[in-house]
């Protein structure tokens, strides 16, 4: 399912001799995406695709990618995750840069982002299923005391009394801070487990139309019409955020993009509000960006049991240095920014590009266009 997005309308355009030149600079071999690429080329016979493999798996090759200048000089569309040409003047024909990432915060200081008006699109919407599974998995690992049970298994010890302290999820409340595609799939799964869901967004969503998801949606997932949350909170000010955090949350899922306004959005005061609202302890799950949480304040909140624990797929910085105290913070589970990974990632990302190729051909609004002023 794909809903109409809010990007600019783009007239039908073609490159030299009626062809559209697509340059892909991606961190996996072309053969990984052969099936979907062939489908796209069959649908768009005038599309000429050039593929450059950016090997990000080999640390020695990072930042050493060399893309022939003649490829990006005649490109009409660029598909990439991290690589960009040095500036907009060297890509005179480019009318869309399709990032195969959920956000664009990693390029906000690049001249193309700051000094050009080239439309930038993301693949927001493809990460919901796998990240929602990670969020629920980590929360269950915590609540079912699985780490302790696994240690018992390694010691070949049988201690059935451990399970008596487990509280199932029915009737518990999850607060989703940032109700985009990822948050909506978390909501869908949490609701299926019997949890109450409340949502928080920067802007108000007072009407049914305003609550709809207008981005890319993996079929059969998410909350397309925004009907799952029992309550909806909003605002860019601290009092509004605190009102949301006061709702006795058992699980807080952080899904907001990293911007100037969201940097250290959760700090000492916010952890105090969570503790006052739920003395049993809120479990904090961050799958967004590490800098959204004030990390020293988080460590203190864990050490003083202001919150019951944390699951972090993102940290500040990344990679997290071995000497960082976060590694040894109590009740803290850390994974190396992998919650968005899935074997079908490239296929779904190309589906977003395919939809934008259709919209470009038909002169319609492009999908997932970045608002440079908002930062996402």
Q: Which are the catalytic amino acids?
A: 289, 318, 337
Closest CA to 233 of 273, 266, 200: 200
Distance CA 346, CA 333 (A): 27
Distance CA 239, CA 236 (A): 9
Distance CA 271, CA 13 (A): 52
- Cβ proximity of 206 and 212 under 8 Å: no
Number of neighbouring beta carbons within 10 Å of residue 255? 27
Measured CA distances, 282 to 143, 246, 337 (Å): 11, 11, 22
**Which segments of the chain does DSSP mark as H helices, in order?**
34-43, 69-73, 111-115, 128-143, 146-154, 181-192, 238-245, 268-277, 295-303, 345-362
Q: Provide, for the chain, the percentages of residues in helix, strand and coil under a 3-state DSSP scheme, each rounded to the nearest 5.
A: 35, 15, 50
Phi then psi for residue 271, to 5 deg, are: -70, -35
> Does the bond joining 297 to the residue before it have cis omega, within 30 degrees of 0?
no
Question: What is the CA angle 293-299-248, rounded to 5?
Answer: 65
């Amino acid at each position: 399912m794909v809903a109409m997005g809010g990007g600019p309308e783009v007239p039908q355009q073609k490159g030299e001799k009626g062809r559209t030149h697509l340059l892909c600079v991606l961190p996996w071999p072309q053969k990984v995406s052969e099936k979907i690429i062939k489908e796209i080329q069959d649908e768009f016979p005038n599309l000429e695709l050039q593929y450059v493999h950016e090997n990000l798996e080999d640390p020695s090759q990072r930042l050493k990618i060399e893309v022939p200048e003649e490829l990006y000089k005649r490109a009409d569309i660029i598909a990439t995750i991290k690589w960009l040409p040095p500036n907009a003047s060297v890509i005179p024909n480019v009318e869309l840069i399709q990032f195969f990432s959920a956000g664009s915060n990693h390029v906000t200081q690049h001249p193309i982002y700051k000094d050009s008006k080239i439309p930038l699109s993301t693949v927001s919407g493809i990460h919901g299923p796998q990240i929602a599974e990670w969020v629920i998995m980590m929360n269950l690992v915590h609540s079912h005391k699985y780490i302790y049970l696994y240690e018992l298994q390694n010691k070949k010890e049988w201690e059935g009394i451990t399970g008596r302290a487990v509280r199932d999820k029915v009737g518990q409340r999850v607060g989703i801070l940032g109700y985009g595609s990822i948050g909506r799939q978390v909501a869908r799964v949490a609701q299926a487990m019997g949890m109450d869901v409340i949502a928080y967004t920067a802007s108000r969503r007072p009407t049914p139309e305003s609550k709809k998801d207008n981005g890319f949606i993996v079929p059969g997932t998410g909350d397309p019409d925004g009907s799952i949350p029992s309550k909806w909170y909003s605002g860019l000010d601290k009092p509004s955020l605190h009102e949301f955090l006061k709702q006795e949350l058992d699980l807080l899922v952080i899904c907001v993009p990293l911007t100037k306004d969201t940097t250290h959005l959760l700090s000492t005061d916010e952890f105090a509000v969570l503790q006052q609202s739920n003395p049993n302890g809120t479990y904090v799950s961050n799958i967004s960006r590490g800098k959204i949480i004030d990390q020293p304040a988080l460590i203190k909140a864990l050490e003083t049991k202001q919150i019951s624990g944390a699951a972090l797929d993102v940290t500040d910085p990344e990679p997290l240095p071995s000497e960082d105290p976060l590694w040894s913070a109590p009740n803290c589970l850390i994974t190396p920014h992998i919650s968005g990974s899935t074997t079908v990632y490239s296929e779904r990302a190309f589906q977003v590009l395919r939809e934008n190729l259709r919209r470009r051909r038909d002169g319609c609004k492009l999908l997932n266009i970045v608002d440079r002023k908002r930062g996402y």
